[in-house]
A and B are shown apart, each in its own frame.
Chain A
């Protein structure tokens, strides 16, 4: 019964999306307040409630393991712990699509309920766009992949969830990224609404900004967590592979980062109108493109999932309608949107524009590398594009961007001169030169990591320079956000460059009792023992690792064999010190009774993920700062309105 109610709610939500679209369209034609146009906001709110109900129904059938529902029978099991029963609800294609549309509908409901800055007509156009995008996903769910479909005969037992997905990190990693993608869909709707009603104003940017910031924070966290998961779980010692699935989340992040900066310029300086609109369209396009690439199977990836050409065609059709439509609208309207306030090259805006262009260039590099195999396959040539392309080519744009990032926040808005900040410039330049010289003293550091290390030091110091000469206690929280986020980039950059410059790798074959050296570590193979788990057997190598001759620590990496399905996994061991990580992976037995062992010493590798978390923290601070300022502004306006009303009464 619950499943049927949820299904019915989904149909009604879809009907409301149609109403939202129609009402908004009418609002654009005949102006605000006319006829059914006033229904936009209530329709959006009700649509959100119904979609949430449908998702609640899905959670419910998963929680009670209702095996008459096809999706539950295919993805769950009565004996699973509750948290994996619930995460099973979105750990599959249909459920994750329902989660997507639910979050989108709730976001629409939230805008409808609280957003009062925009002209009503633009608001209705925005909600119409939001309804239109949601409608495509409803159609997808209801016509081709209904998550609440019943089985003709209930299953006796479920088939369980893929064991790789039964990991607490993976229960939360996809929803985090999803919320990020959906936040960008809201930004997209705002951009379309503003284009339709030709009202690209600072108010529009202020309404859009929290959504972009929120989406950016979630994408940052999702990517950071995903990268760490790949690093510790897959046992190959690397943290970024430039895999299509990884790129699918990196591309929207790059676009969102550019959008984040340009929307701030539009909000506070009324400049970069066309750029902001363009990036709003691009950012969401990248989310949908990523979904398409991952779901359709057109690209072969190490972890492509839910691959199905039919679903691929459906998403491709949605892409064509939404992205194609938005780009067409952009082409038709862009010339009529004026650029807004002017500014000189040497200004905060100038630096931001430079960096936005660089970010867009990196985005183009990643996009090209990701799509290139698809393009060549059309001519029957199979290629794979990997780090040898991505690393240097993206660095060409990333390094100047990072240098300008150190300087930009020191410049004034609109018009400034580099002469005014000559002392700071000299300091940054001196730090870069000193860093280059210092790190070049180490043996065998390649040119890109060397530049990365020097820039990271300079940027790390420079991110705190905006504090100079200001009262720290009265600094707005959003400025703190910027400082923390920029510092986070410096920290992550230092981790990446250090990992690639100073990593030591050792592939050793040891007899029990022998030891080997990797970097400052001495690792002794103490014993080899077979161990057994509930559904696996493993060979465990017990070792003693001592750092620079200090007290040894015991580590025990395993090589596990699962039986059903037969699969070999490595349980690597990470030994973390303040200045890096020792990474140990157990290999197999060699012919002569020695054991293969793979060891890495990775100086400062953990900074990569600490940096990611700092960036996200900076984003959160920026949101808090903006929301507080908005609330303050609103209460002042209310006070003024109240006083005006008093004056009226006195008359």
Chain B
């Protein structure tokens, strides 16, 4: 006995220290894609909107860096992000959209109300493409370089301060 009876208390104090430290750390709850730095998986998506063509992997390998925006008409943050997408387009970014589990009528209504910044919109009815590129929710935006490599992932809606960041990432991807 004697000194050994203090061991549990000391181990517990160690645990308390680590746990208290961890609680004060900011927590990133985002599920980051494991696909960054890798090539887009192969996919072919039919158009989600009559005015825009659909999306295939080949379209994203034509030499020009693009933004790939994962969104849906039923997603409220996507409405908040619409003006920023418009701003990105006006500053020269090409945006390719993928509508997740969406209905063409709802897509048309959404685009009529909040603007259509997309060059192409594919429909991903079973979230298969979404899952294969490592996105865990809507909205999410990926930067794809001219060779179809994912270089950057933005999780959540794009705020006004994110616009210059994304433009910079696009420039880097083009270099």
Interface residues of A (CB under 8 A from B): 274, 278, 281-282, 285, 292, 296-298, 309, 312-313, 316, 319-320, 323-324, 327-328, 330-331, 334-335, 371, 374-375, 377-378, 561, 563, 566, 568, 588
Contact = CB atoms under 8 A, between A and B. Distances in A.
B19 A292 contact: yes
A378 B22 contact: yes
Given A298-B23, A377-B22, A566-B101, A334 B5 contact: yes
Nearest to A380: B25
Given A278-B8, A374-B18, A312 B23 contact: yes
Say which size band chain B's interface belongs to: 20 to 34
Given A324-B13, A566-B127, A298 B5 contact: no
B112 interface: no
Given A378-B18, A378-B21, A588-B126, A330 B12 contact: no
B1 interface: yes
Contact of B9 (A296, A309, A324, A378): A324
A13 B79 CA distance: 49
**Shortest beta-carbon contacts, A-B, top 5:** A327-B9, A334-B5, A331-B5, A298-B22, A331-B6
Contacts of A374: 18-19, 22
Interface in B19-42: 19-23, 25, 27
Interface of B: 1-2, 5-6, 8-9, 12-13, 15-16, 18-23, 25, 27, 100-101, 126-128
Given A324-B16, A335-B1, A374-B22, 19 more contacts: A274-B1, A278-B8, A282-B8, A292-B19, A296-B23, A298-B22, A298-B23, A309-B23, A313-B23, A327-B8, A327-B12, A330-B5, A331-B5, A335-B5, A371-B15, A374-B19, A375-B18, A377-B25, A378-B22
14 contacts: A282-B8, A292-B19, A297-B27, A298-B22, A309-B27, A319-B16, A323-B12, A330-B5, A330-B8, A330-B9, A334-B1, A335-B1, A374-B22, A588-B126
B41 to A, nearest CB: 13
A609 B100 CA distance: 40
A387 B23 CA distance: 27
B12 A335 contact: no
A296 B5 CA distance: 29
Given A324-B9, A330-B8, A335-B1, A316 B21 contact: no
A375 B23 CA distance: 12
Q: Which of B16, B22, B101 has the most CB of A within 10 A?
A: B22
A569 to B, nearest CB: 13
A330 B18 CA distance: 23
Nearest to A563: B101
A519 B167 CA distance: 57
B168 to A, nearest CB: 26
Nearest to B1: A335
A324 B12 contact: yes
B107 to A, nearest CB: 15
A274 B19 CA distance: 28
Given A296-B23, A298-B23, A566-B127, A331 B9 contact: yes
A231 to B, nearest CB: 24
B28 to A, nearest CB: 10
Contacts of A297: 27
A313 to B, nearest CB: 6
B33 to A, nearest CB: 15
A319 B15 CA distance: 11
A316 B16 contact: yes
A320 B16 contact: yes
A371 B5 CA distance: 22
A278 B13 CA distance: 17
A377 B18 CA distance: 10
B23 A316 contact: yes
Nearest to A327: B9
A320 B27 CA distance: 22
A371 B12 CA distance: 12
Contacts of A298: 19, 22-23
B19 A316 contact: yes
Q: Which of B19, B22, B128 has the most CB of A within 10 A?
A: B19
Contacts of A319: 16
Nearest to A300: B29
Contacts of A561: 126
Contacts of B20: 313, 316
Nearest to A299: B22
Contacts of A330: 5, 8-9
Contacts of B27: 297, 309
